[in-house]
Amino acid sequence: MEIQDVFSAYKDDLHQVEKYINDNVHSEIKLIPEVAQHLINSGGKRFRPLLLLICARLCGYRDENRFPMATVMEFIHTATLLHDDVIDQASIRRGKTSANQIYGNAISILVGDFLCFKSYTLMTEIGNLDILRLISEMGDIMSEGEVFQLSKCGDINLSEEEYFNIIEKKTAVLISASCASGSILSSAPREKIDALKKFGRNVGMAFQITDDILDYMAKREDFGKSIGKDLEEGKITLPLIFAIKQSTIKEKNKIKEIITSKKNSKKVVREIFSLIEKYKGIDSSFQIASKYINKAKSQLNIFNDCPEKDHLNTVAEYILTRKA
């Protein structure tokens, strides 16, 4: 089974999610939907809504509330991207000029806030206290991750443990909550909710690691951002952590100089790439991502064989082969 087959299996459900997205991004302040739709309609795969829909169906839930809840996940994800691009002073997002470059930082932040608060309106209408609790806790953790990452920007002494802490808080927790929410809606047993929550957490960890790998591998037209963008922003990610750990004192000093200066010339990027290649930073990072995917798939053992279980396994395996 391919990832396209999974999306096809949920085509009708995802169409309903799109309707909820468009209906709920509406505002009498016309700039709000304009900015939000600039990012929402820029080619995102609806990965988090898809996971929620699969997990809901896996647990036997087919009621209407899965659509607004999937919308919540996409809104929160979009809000974090709007905020991230301001923090990172990004110019490209998904191959397009980023919202902050077009509309300014203040508008981008405020529209991100609008999407967050709209998410709570939708959850209040759903009326599930367990989901409200889960998403509120998730918001706290994601905020901590943003601050922690910012405090470690440019720190070439960032440890693997600190890196994993950052990506769990920034990325994995939202994917984990997407999976858990689908099962909570169905009033699934606690052990199944926990299993899907852990599945999402491990998938999320692998997702961010492969994202960081792609920053050193992909072509811009494939991935929608400048290659070496993390380097320019002073973000130390796993491939570089592996290279720094094994590099000589001279090489470490060179890396520090490049990171501190935040230069992103072709020559500078090539220098870093060559060190990552020399010390097998890509291969080592990919091995870690593979371990997370294996952990994720093992969480599904609690479920009987069924199409939805196959769908989740396919999504997990896709993480390791994606090019965007």
pLDDT of residue 306: 98
pLDDT, one tens digit per residue, over 189-233 is 999 999 999 999 999 999 999 999 998 885 444 444 455 677 777
**What is this structure's pTM?**
0.93
* Euclidean distance between CA atoms 261 and 259, whole angstroms: 6
Per the CB < 8 A criterion, the answer to whether 68 and 200 are in contact is no
Per the CB < 8 A criterion, the answer to whether 69 and 49 are in contact is no
3-140+151-319, what's its fold?
Farnesyl Diphosphate Synthase (1.10.600)
* b/e burial code for range 289-309 (CB count within 10 A of at least 16 → b): beebbebbbebbeebeeeebb
E strands, 118-276, where? none
Q: What is the mean pLDDT of residues 236-263?
A: 89
Q: Say whether 235 sits in a helix, a strand or coil.
A: coil
* Euclidean distance between CA atoms 41 and 273, whole angstroms: 32
Strand partners, 93: 96
pLDDT of residue 258: 84
Count of CA atoms in the C-beta half-sphere (13 A) of 130: 12
Sign of CA dihedral 58, 64, 66, 71: positive
Per the CB < 8 A criterion, the answer to whether 180 and 200 are in contact is yes
pLDDT of residue 229: 74
pLDDT of residue 225: 46
pLDDT, one tens digit per residue, over 81-98 is 999 999 988 888 877 889
Higher pLDDT, 273 or 166: 166
Show the tokens assigned to 108.
Answer: 């981008």
Question: 123: closest CA among 191, 73, 87?
Answer: 73
Q: What is the mean pLDDT of residues 122-139?
A: 97
Q: What are the residue boundaries of the structural domains of the chain, listed by start? A: 3-140+151-319
pLDDT, one tens digit per residue, over 36-59 is 999 988 878 899 999 999 999 999
In the predicted model, what is the mean pLDDT of the chain? 92
Question: 166: closest CA among 121, 126, 219, 204?
Answer: 204
pLDDT of residue 218: 55
Is the pLDDT at 267 greater than 70, yes or no?
yes
pLDDT, one tens digit per residue, over 291-312 is 999 999 999 999 999 999 999 9
Show the tokens assigned to 311.
Answer: 């769908």
pLDDT of residue 262: 64
Strand partners, 92: 97
pLDDT of residue 311: 98
pLDDT of residue 235: 87
* Euclidean distance between CA atoms 24 and 148, whole angstroms: 32
Q: What is the mean pLDDT of residues 234-261?
A: 90
pLDDT of residue 265: 63
Residue 49 identity = P
Is the pLDDT at 130 greater than 90, yes or no?
yes
pLDDT of residue 180: 98
**Residue 72: CB atoms within 10 Å:** 29
Under the banding of pLDDT at 50, 70 and 90, the label for residue 269 is confident
Q: Which residue has the tokens 């991502």?
A: 289
Is the pLDDT at 259 greater than 90, yes or no?
no
Is the pLDDT at 35 greater than 90, yes or no?
yes
